[in-house]
Amino acid sequence: MPTSDAWGIRLSGKARTSDGWAENVFTDKDVFGYDSWGARAVIQYKGEASTWTLNIHGSDYEGDSGFYFNSEAAGNEGLDFDELQQQSKESPEDIEPWGANFTGNFSMGDIDFVSVTAYEPSDSSAFDDLGPGVDTPKPTAQI
């Protein structure tokens, strides 16, 4: 959105949530739910011989880790994508990327210059229960 002949600003954001789409048969709890949001602000200056842009952005994801294990996939009959067998009561995942970048394009006579500066850190943590549950039937070989 222009704020003058030379300046403009743009704001954007999103938010998403889910209660989960599968049931952990050990805990009777819905899993793979999440809360997520993101936001960005862009400020730009356009002059006769230069353009400068500042982009500031960030997001946050908190939910269940995305690892999926179903004992039926290990050789038992059928495959049910709505249930999984995971011993741990929780498998939290938290991802927080954020940052900023500043770019400039400018000309001096016949020479064009581009400047890019950015800082893009990200914090994340997750726990996954990679093994089948205690009561998970094991596939058996037939001889």
The gap from C-alpha 70 to its chain's centroid, in whole angstroms, comes to 24
- Mean pLDDT within 77-94: 64
Q: What secondary structure, in 3-state letters, does 59-111 show?
A: EEEEEECCCCCCHHHHCCCCCCCCEECCCCCCCEEEEEEEEEEEEEEEEECCE
User: Higher model confidence: residue 122 or residue 22?
Assistant: 122
- Mean pLDDT within 88-104: 85
Q: Is the pLDDT of residue 106 over 90?
A: yes
Q: Return the structure tokens found at 39.
A: 């936001």
User: Higher model confidence: residue 81 or residue 10?
Assistant: 10
Q: What is the amino acid identity at position 99? A: G
Q: Hey, is 71 helix, strand or coil?
A: helix
87: left (phi over 0), alpha (psi -120 to 50) or beta: alpha
Do residues 31 and 24 touch, judged by C-beta distance below 8 A?
Answer: yes
Do residues 53 and 6 touch, judged by C-beta distance below 8 A?
Answer: no
Q: Is the pLDDT of residue 138 over 50?
A: no
Average pLDDT of the chain is 79
Model confidence band, residue 67 (pLDDT cutoffs 50, 70, 90): low
| Residue 65 neighbours by CB distance under 10 Å | 19
Q: Where are the beta strands (DSSP E) in 29-91?
A: 29-31, 34-46, 50-64, 83-84
